[in-house]
């Protein structure tokens, strides 16, 4: 009989893995969102980190591609505290997130009760998680992170099943149908990078350094257009790049320079109809096409001003 030797699983202080919360821990989490997504049952795509909301900076903003909703992730290397709970509520309003994931090595009973209360008393569509993070190893093995759900919405498992159900595909199908028809109506836009996406947004690159995208988007009841920094890139360089031309751009586009409350969107304009109004699709598509031309023409102001 082969003799088996077992090792002992050892818990390590989180700071053995990440010395600094802002410069080590948060960037690692942003690069490993799949670990968090697997724990809570959501696919997560990075949006950005250290996003300013008032006097504070939110650690990580991600997106759930299943419904394009925003997910706020607040992380700590020390035990959960009242300060971070208060900041979470500030970020929730400022970043328009629908899901909040609070990560810490330990949560007190009052903090877990607060998360449970939020899940029971906020409006439908909001979800709050408390996630314990452990770092473990056996002997001299590599460190391994373990994410454990300490608190979650009561009906979370049902919500996940609903998102994954076949009828959930309709959310993406109608967007793909819209963008396909959009390109049939305005085929020249394909040369700019517009494609038949299954997601709400299509992007056109306007500038490389700093990276600036022109985004057109379609929702159920409205649509719109705006400028934004690249995915995962800070908004500040874009703001500095646009600011000297703000007055001219605002006049040309009849849109405020920004940024928006999310901190990354500039020169935002909305149209009061969305994909649920199928009879209005031609009107929406023509509006988008006209606005894309206006934005590209207006952006020449910036190019000429920076020569």
- DSSP structure string for the chain: --------EEEE-HHHH-S-IIIIIHHHHHHTHHHHHHHHT---EEEEEEEEETTEEEEEEEEETTTTEEEEEEE-SS---HHHHHHHHHHHHHHT-SEEEEEES---HHHHHHHHHHHHHSPTT-EEEEEEEEEEEETTPPPEEEEEEEE--TTHHHHHHHHHSGGGGHHHHHHHHHHHHHHHHSGGGGGGT----SSSEEEEEEETTTTEEEEEEE-SS-EEEEEEEPTT--SHHHHHHHGGGHHHHHHHHTS-----TTSSEEEEEEES--TT-GGGHHHHHHHHHHHHHHHHHHHHHHHHHT-
Segment 256-277 mean pLDDT? 79
Q: Give the pLDDT score at 303.
A: 66
Q: Give the pLDDT score at 262.
A: 47
Rounded distance between C-alpha atoms, residue 174 and residue 66, angstroms = 13
Segment 23-52 mean pLDDT? 84
Tokens for 272, please give them.
């009061």
pLDDT-derived band at 104 (thresholds 50, 70, 90) equals very high
* Fold assignment, 169-305: Yope Regulator; Chain: A, (3.30.1460)
Q: Give the pLDDT score at 136.
A: 92
CATH class of segment(s) 9-164:
alpha beta
pTM (2 d.p.): 0.54
Burial (CB < 10 A; 0-12, 13-18, 19+), residue 162, is: exposed
pLDDT-derived band at 52 (thresholds 50, 70, 90) equals low
pLDDT per residue as tens digits for the range 146-174: 999 999 887 665 555 555 544 456 767 88
- Listed by start position, the domains of the chain span 9-164, 169-305
């Amino acid at each position: 009989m082969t003799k088996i030797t077992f090792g002992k699983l050892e818990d390590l202080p989180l700071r053995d893995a990440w010395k600094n919360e802002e410069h080590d821990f948060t960037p690692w989490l942003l690069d490993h969102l799949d670990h968090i997504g697997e724990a809570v049952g959501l696919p997560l795509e990075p949006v950005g980190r250290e996003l300013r909301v008032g006097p504070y900076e939110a650690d990580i903003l991600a997106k759930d591609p299943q419904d394009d909703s925003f997910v706020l992730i607040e992380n700590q290397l020390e035990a959960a505290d009242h300060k971070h709970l208060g900041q979470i509520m500030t970020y929730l309003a400022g970043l328009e997130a629908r899901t909040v994931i609070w990560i810490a090595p330990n949560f007190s009973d009052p903090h877990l009760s607060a998360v449970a209360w939020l899940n029971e008393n906020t409006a439908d569509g909001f979800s709050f998680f408390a996630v314990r993070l452990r770092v473990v190893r056996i002997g001299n093995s590599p460190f391994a992170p373990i994410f454990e759900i300490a608190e979650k919405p009561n009906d979370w498992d049902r919500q996940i099943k609903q998102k994954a159900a076949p009828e959930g595909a309709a959310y993406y199908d109608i967007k793909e149908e819209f963008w396909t028809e959009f390109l049939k109506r305005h085929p020249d836009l394909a040369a700019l990078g517009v494609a038949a996406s299954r997601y709400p947004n299509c992007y056109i690159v306007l500038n490389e350094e700093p990276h600036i995208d022109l985004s057109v988007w379609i929702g159920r009841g409205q649509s719109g257009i705006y400028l934004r920094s690249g995915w995962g890139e800070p908004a500040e360089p874009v703001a500095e790049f646009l600011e000297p031309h703000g007055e001219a751009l605002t006049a040309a586009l009849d849109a405020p320079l920004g940024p928006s409350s999310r901190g990354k969107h500039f020169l935002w304009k909305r149209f009061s109809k969305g994909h649920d109004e199928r009879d209005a699709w031609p009107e929406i598509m023509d509006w988008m096409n006209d606005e894309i031309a206006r934005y590209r023409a207006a952006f020449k102001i910036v190019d000429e001003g920076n020569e």
